[in-house]
Amino acid sequence: MSNVSELHATSSTAGEYLAFTLGQEEYGIDIQKVSEIRSYETPTRIANAPGFVKGVVNLRGIIVPIVDMRIKFNLGTPTYDQFTVVIILNIGHRVVGMVVDRVSDVTTLLPEQIKPAPEIGSALNTDHIVGLGTIEDRMLILVDIDKLMSSADMGLIESTALAA
């Protein structure tokens, strides 16, 4: 039993990840950040919001910004179908919705299944990628959702937290 706790102590990225699809790629985020998964409903548009912020929805009295990750990552024109879902995230003291093509499963990754993110160079900001998870023939791009949502180009967490 101590070996299991040692494994988790050696790598902060080991654990359970919610796997989801954007375009042709599969991504994973820490399941502990996920509050719920909802079917996509058209949000109320907000004037002057960045293109990737689709708008807001009222979720049981909480106004939640909805971010379309396909637009954010420049993955082509998004289409919304019966598989499109919104992952409701708890990040810091904020609630944010993230639109993805589909959710596949929750996967447990051990430290040896997680490879470091490749160095791509300064042309692409990969600060929010914590590594690549490998499960047999699948590869998950593991995203640090806190870093991504609070990054300067997203501006969602800090700017909305300051306004609160």
Dig out the tokens for 1 from the structure: 């039993």
Query: What's the mean per-residue pLDDT of the chain?
Result: 83
C-alpha angle 49/65/128, rounded to 5°?
90
65-94 pLDDT tens trace: 999 999 988 888 889 999 999 999 998 888
24-72 pLDDT tens trace: 899 999 999 999 999 999 999 999 999 899 999 999 999 999 999 999 8
Q: How confident is the model at residue 157 (pLDDT cuts 50, 70, 90)?
A: low
Dig out the tokens for 68 from the structure: 């379309």
Strand partners, 22: 25
What predicted TM-score, i.e. pTM, was given to this entire model?
0.81
